[in-house]
Amino acid sequence: MPTALVTGGTGFIALHVIKLLLEQGHKVHTTVRSLRNPTKCKPILDLQFRYPGQISLFEADLTKDGSFLQAMEGCDFVYHIASPFLVPSQIKDGLRDCVKPALRGTRNVLESVNQCQAVQRVISTSSVAAMYGDCIEIHSVNKGTLMESLWNETSSVTNNPYHYSKVIAEREAWKIHAAQDRWDLVVLNPGLVLGPSMTPESVSGSLFMIENMFRGNNRMGVPELYYPVVDVRDVAEAHVRAGNMPNSNGRYIIAGSGETFSLLELANMARSVHRDMRVLPNRNLPRVIVYLAGPFVGVSRGWISRNLGVRFSVDNGRSVRELGMEYRPVEGAIKDHYETWVERERGR
């Protein structure tokens, strides 16, 4: 069986990818920023115990050039999943906090791929954020349906810089790939990723937003925002299939449905399993409240006007046809997400 490197091994998506690769008999190398953090490393150490001799752990940092070379040595495939994440309120300087780290991380990993002759294919985790910045953009350029051919043309360093960092990082990946002819590149663009977590803490955008809702931080209501949603187990499956299937190529939208879901709809799906359903929101916030509150959480009123209440469709057909994906229901993803969140909160 081939050997695969999974970057960012303690991440929400990465741990599921690692687990699936191990179950299929692959040898796995994976990276963490620090081997001296036992809490973050524990899920990987647990997998090492369950799959002895199959998984090796290395220290590497997206911001340190060449730090992935040792982990990449002898690998046939690279699953580049590691990516910096900040919520809007944490972003003080879009260029410094989002764009430069994302660009440097992509260059660091792919320039290491260029030096490792064994690597045949890179499977890179991007996001639907690289395809659109504002929901209304999808209606103006493609009649309301998100497709792989679309690129986010509206985000910038000052307007939704996290989304812009996804655009810049993915474009850089395609640029580096085009400059050589030894290794293939497949890019996966998942929507909002939910489902059971193997991580000891919330470190992704989807976890941060949804778990705040579980805690009751949005009991007064939520903004009417719509997202493509996908189960993390399906995201992992798509990664492994993209690596295993010889003809996989280009970009793939990874979304569990052809429709998008509002935060209120997701809350309603969780209501039947939540220990105290009273803390979940039961209404969309009035538009005027969202406009007034937006700037205090790092969201501009212009962004709100282009996204609030704008539902769109998603074409996930390419992943179904070419990768053979059979997606789980979104309702199951959010219920399982809640159950593992409860278990993790009890352990704190």
For position 282, which CATH number holds?
3.40.50.720
- How does the average pLDDT of the chain come out, rounded? 94
Percent of the chain with pLDDT over 70: 97
Whole-number Cα distances in Å, 249 to 30, 252, 257, 284, 322: 23, 8, 21, 40, 9
Residue 89 has pLDDT above 80, yes or no: no
Tens digit of each residue's pLDDT (9 = 90 or more) over 203-219: 666 677 899 999 999 99
The pLDDT value recorded for residue 206 is 63
Joined together, the tokens standing for residue 275 give: 């220990």
DSSP 288: H
Q: What is the mean pLDDT of residues 26-31?
A: 98
Q: Which among 121, 149, 192, 175 is positioned nearest to 318, based on CA atoms?
A: 149
Q: What's phi and psi for 195, nearest 5 deg? A: 130, 180
DSSP string for 166-234? HHHHHHHHHHHHHT-SSSEEEEEEE-EEES---SSS--SHHHHHHHHHHHTTTTT-B---EE-EEEHHH
The pLDDT value recorded for residue 203 is 60
Residue 193 has pLDDT above 60, yes or no: yes
Q: In this structure, which long-range contacts are made by residues 35-40, counting pairs with CB atoms below 8 Å and at least 24 apart in sequence?
A: 35/59, 39/200, 39/201, 40/10, 40/199, 40/200, 40/201
The pLDDT value recorded for residue 281 is 96
Helices (H) and strands (E) in the chain, counts: 14, 13
Joined together, the tokens standing for residue 107 give: 């260059």
Residue 235 has pLDDT above 80, yes or no: yes
Q: What is the mean pLDDT of residues 47-56?
A: 97
Q: What is the mean pLDDT of residues 52-80?
A: 97
Which residue(s) pair with 6 in the sheet? 30, 79
Residue 154 has pLDDT above 80, yes or no: yes
DSSP 254: E
Domain count, the chain: 1
The pLDDT value recorded for residue 204 is 62
Q: What is the mean pLDDT of residues 216-245?
A: 97
pLDDT interval class at 276 (50, 70, 90): very high
Q: What is the mean pLDDT of residues 60-83?
A: 96
Percent of the chain with pLDDT over 90: 83
The pLDDT value recorded for residue 205 is 60
Q: Which domain holds residue 278?
A: 3-346
The pLDDT value recorded for residue 202 is 57
The pLDDT value recorded for residue 295 is 86
CB 2 within 8 A of CB 26: yes
Calpha distance 322→299 (Å, rounded): 37
